[in-house]
């Protein structure tokens, strides 16, 4: 009887320990409480993904497309005159004044590093005369890149019912943008100073991507935050012969989950397509999140 009781207690203890160990492993996994949508690529191959084809608002990740089009359409040394619309932009901005003159190159730095809506709008107005024509060009470029679940309604990323993309499409767009030397250079910088050409004013801009200079191997790319989009991030890091691209959408704490997810990708034995149960879709029909009125923004 005593032996039976001892075996029963031993079995129960082993069971408790097993559950505890499993729970600890689950809690330590960066994918246990992963963002609603994410995609991780290793050297161009999908490592893990979740709801990567679900349409969601991208916030200032929109500026990746804006920067790409400007680089394809304008000379980097062209002079931009800040428009009234650009100077009046809301949300994240550096404080440009109507009539100030800056180069395309410097406004791209403010757009990509500081996520400045005033700089971004100034570039859109300069490239196509107004934002409406620029948005037409954005959507045409999206079609050309076969971004089938992407649609733009403004150049900066303001919440709007018609603005959406996916983690999958953002990965494709980022890979294309990173082929531009200036784009890759700017998103990897911690800070810089830009100057106006017709006054003594200058602006010190800092990269809002907290991984730059802090996470080993980080080389970009872009942050984005609005009430509807939540915390978004496209991050890229390189170590030795491995390049990891991470896209996060609608996260609660991107600066906690992003390093852990990147670590997991660098620690992975191989870059194989993820076929685990976590790679799920919310529904067969891609749904678009209900949007807030255009112009509603919080800082990136």
Positions marked active-site: 60, 63, 115
Residues, the chain = 300
End-to-end Cα, the chain, rounded Å:
67
| Residue 190 known to bind ligand | no
Residue 87 CB-density burial (10 A; 0-12 exposed, 13-18 middle, 19+ buried): middle
Per the annotation, binding residues are 222
Per the annotation, binding residues for substrate are 222
């Amino acid at each position: 009887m005593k032996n039976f009781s001892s075996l029963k207690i031993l079995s129960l203890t082993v069971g408790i320990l097993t559950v505890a160990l499993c729970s600890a492993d689950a809690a330590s996994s960066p994918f246990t409480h992963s963002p609603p949508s994410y995609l991780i690529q290793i050297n161009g191959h999908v490592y893990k993904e979740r709801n990567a084809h679900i349409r969601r608002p991208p916030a200032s990740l929109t500026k990746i497309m804006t920067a790409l089009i400007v680089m394809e359409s304008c000379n980097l040394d062209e002079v931009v005159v800040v428009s009234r619309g650009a100077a009046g932009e809301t949300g994240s901005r550096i404080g440009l004044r109507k009539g100030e003159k800056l180069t395309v190159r410097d406004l791209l730095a403010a757009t990509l590093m500081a996520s400045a809506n005033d700089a971004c709008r100034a570039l859109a107005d300069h490239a196509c005369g107004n934002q409406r024509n620029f948005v037409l060009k954005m959507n045409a470029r999206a079609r050309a890149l076969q971004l089938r679940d992407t649609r733009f309604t403004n150049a900066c990323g303001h919440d709007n019912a018609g603005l959406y993309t996916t983690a999958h499409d953002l990965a494709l767009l980022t890979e294309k943008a990173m082929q531009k030397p200036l784009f890759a250079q700017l998103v990897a910088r911690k800070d810089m100073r830009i100057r106006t050409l017709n006054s003594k004013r200058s602006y010190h801009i800092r990269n809002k991507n907290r991984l730059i200079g802090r996470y080993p191997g980080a080389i970009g790319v872009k942050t984005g935050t609005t009430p509807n989009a939540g915390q978004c991030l496209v991050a890229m890091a390189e170590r030795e012969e491995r390049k990891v691209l991470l896209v996060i959408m609608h996260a609660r704490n991107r600066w906690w989950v992003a390093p852990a997810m990147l670590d997991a990708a660098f620690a992975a034995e191989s870059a194989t397509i993820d076929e685990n149960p976590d790679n799920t879709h919310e529904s067969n029909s891609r749904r678009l999140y209900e949007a807030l009125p255009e112009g509603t923004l919080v800082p990136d």
